[in-house]
C-alpha cells in the first residue's frame, strides 16, 4: 500500500509514454533475480552480436596439433585456447561465443513464429467462438496431446534434419500454448464494458480484435514468450543432441554436447561448457520471465 501511494504522483505528473516505462521498471526492479537475469541476457546478446570481434579463432577451424586440449588454467592447457579444444581441435571459446548467436536466433525465431500463429488462432477462436473456436481448439488439443519433443522429432524427420526445420517444428509444437492463452484472455476481455462501448462507437471486428482487445491481453503473452524462449533453446539443443537440429560443423550448443559425449570422462570440459552455457541462458531468461510476470500482473497494481 505504501508503494502505491508513493508512486502515484510520479506517474500522474509525467504525461509522456515514458511514464508507463518508468512504472514498469519500478515493478520489474523489485525482483533482484529478474534484474540479474536481464544483465546476463544483455551480456549474452552483446557477446553474440560481437562474436567475430571477440574471438581470435574461427569456430570451425581445426588445429591438427591441438586435439582435446584442457582449459588454459589446467596442466597441459595452452593460453591461446582459453577453454581448451574439442575432439577435432577447434577452439571451445570461439565455438561457444558463436553458438550464442544460434541459440538466441533459435529462441527469437521460434517465439516470433509461435506468437504470430498463436495470437491469430487464439484471437479468432476467442472472439468468434462457435464452430471456429471448436475447430481451432480441437486441432490445438491434438498438438498438445503429443509430448512436445516427440512431435518435434516426428516433424523434423518428415521435413529433414537442419536448423531451419528444427525451428519450424519447435514453433509449431509451442504454438498451442499461445493460442490457448490468447483465447482465454480474449474471452475474458471481450465481455468488458469498454469493448461494448467501442462496438457502440461503430468499431468493426478487426478493430475490436486487434486494437481494442489484443493490447489488453499482452501481459500474459510477454511472460509466456520469455518462458518459451528458453524452452525453444532447450528443445533445439535436444534436437541437436539427437543429430536432427543444427548439423556439424555449426557451433550450436546442443550439437556440441552431442558430439562430445563420448569424451565425457577423458575430457569433461568439452561437455561441461556447452551445458553450462545452456543452463545459464535458460536460467537468465526464466528469471526475466518471472520478473515480467510480477511486473505485469494486474493484481499487484492499482487500477
Partner 1 sequence: MSVPVLETHHIVRDYHVGRTLFAGGQVIHAVKDATLKVEKGKTLAIVGESGSGKSTLARILTLIDPPTSGELLIEGERVDIIKTGVSKQMRRKVQMVFQNPYGSLNPRQKIGDVLAEPLVINTDMPASERQDRAQQMLKKVGLAPEHFNRYPHMFSGGQRQRIAIARALMLNPSLLVLDEPVSALDLSVQAQILNLLADLQDEFQLTYVFISHDLSVVRYIADDVMVMYLGEVVEQGSREAVFADPQHSYTKTLFAATPRADVASIKARLARRAAEIA
Q: Which residues bind partner 1 (CB under 8 A)?
A: 11-12, 15-16, 20, 192-194, 196-204, 207, 212, 215-216, 302-303
CB-CB contact of 104 with 285 (8 Å): no
Q: Whole-number minimum distance, CB 129 to partner 1, in Å?
A: 16
Q: Whole-number minimum distance, CB 192 to partner 1, in Å?
A: 5
Closer residue to partner 1 in complex, CB, 1/200: 200
Buried b (16+ CB within 10 A) or exposed e, 192-217: eeebeebeeeeeeeeebbeebbbeeb
Closer residue to partner 1 in complex, CB, 50/194: 194
Q: Whole-number minimum distance, CB 202 to partner 1, in Å?
A: 5
Closer residue to partner 1 in complex, CB, 9/79: 9
User: CA-CA distance, 282 to 240, in Å (whole number)?
Assistant: 16
User: CA-CA distance, 24 to 18, in Å (whole number)?
Assistant: 10
Q: Whole-number minimum distance, CB 258 to partner 1, in Å?
A: 45
Q: By three-state DSSP, how is residue 131 classified?
A: helix
Closer residue to partner 1 in complex, CB, 53/201: 201
Q: Whole-number minimum distance, CB 185 to partner 1, in Å?
A: 13
User: CA-CA distance, 62 to 171, in Å (whole number)?
Assistant: 34
**Sequence-distant (≥ 6) Cβ neighbours of residue 102 within 8 angstroms:** 163, 246, 250, 251, 252, 253
Closer residue to partner 1 in complex, CB, 65/193: 193
Amino acid at each position: 500500500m505504501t508503494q502505491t501511494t508513493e508512486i502515484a504522483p510520479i506517474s500522474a505528473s509525467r504525461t509522456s509514454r515514458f511514464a508507463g516505462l518508468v512504472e514498469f521498471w519500478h515493478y520489474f526492479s523489485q525482483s533482484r533475480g529478474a534484474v540479474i537475469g536481464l544483465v546476463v541476457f544483455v551480456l549474452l546478446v552483446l557477446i553474440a552480436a560481437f562474436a567475430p570481434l571477440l574471438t581470435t579463432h574461427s569456430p570451425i577451424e581445426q588445429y591438427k596439433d591441438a586435439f582435446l586440449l584442457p582449459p588454459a588454467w589446467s596442466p597441459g592447457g595452452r593460453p591461446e585456447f582459453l577453454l581448451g579444444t574439442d575432439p577435432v581441435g577447434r577452439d571451445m571459446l570461439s565455438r561457444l561465443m558463436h553458438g550464442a548467436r544460434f541459440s538466441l536466433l533459435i529462441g527469437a525465431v521460434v517465439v516470433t513464429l509461435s506468437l504470430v500463429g498463436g495470437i491469430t488462432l487464439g484471437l479468432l477462436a476467442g472472439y468468434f467462438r462457435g464452430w471456429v473456436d471448436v475447430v481451432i481448439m480441437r486441432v490445438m488439443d491434438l498438438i498438445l496431446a503429443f509430448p512436445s519433443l516427440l512431435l518435434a522429432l516426428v516433424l523434423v524427420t518428415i521435413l529433414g534434419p537442419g536448423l531451419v526445420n528444427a525451428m519450424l517444428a519447435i514453433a509449431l509444437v509451442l504454438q498451442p500454448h499461445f493460442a490457448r492463452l490468447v483465447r482465454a484472455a480474449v474471452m475474458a476481455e471481450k465481455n468488458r464494458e469498454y469493448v461494448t462501448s467501442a462496438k457502440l462507437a461503430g468499431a468493426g471486428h478487426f478493430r475490436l480484435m486487434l486494437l481494442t482487445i489484443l493490447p489488453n491481453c499482452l501481459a500474459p503473452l510477454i511472460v509466456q514468450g520469455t518462458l518459451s524462449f528458453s524452452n525453444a533453446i532447450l528443445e533445439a539443443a535436444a534436437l541437436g543432441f539427437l543429430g536432427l537440429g543444427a548439423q556439424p560443423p555449426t557451433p550450436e550448443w546442443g550439437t556440441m554436447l552431442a558430439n562430445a559425449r563420448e569424451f565425457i570422462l577423458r575430457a569433461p570440459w568439452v561437455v561441461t561448457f556447452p551445458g553450462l552455457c545452456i543452463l545459464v541462458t535458460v536460467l537468465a531468461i526464466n528469471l526475466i520471465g518471472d520478473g515480467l510476470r510480477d511486473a505485469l500482473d494486474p493484481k499487484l497494481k492499482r487500477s
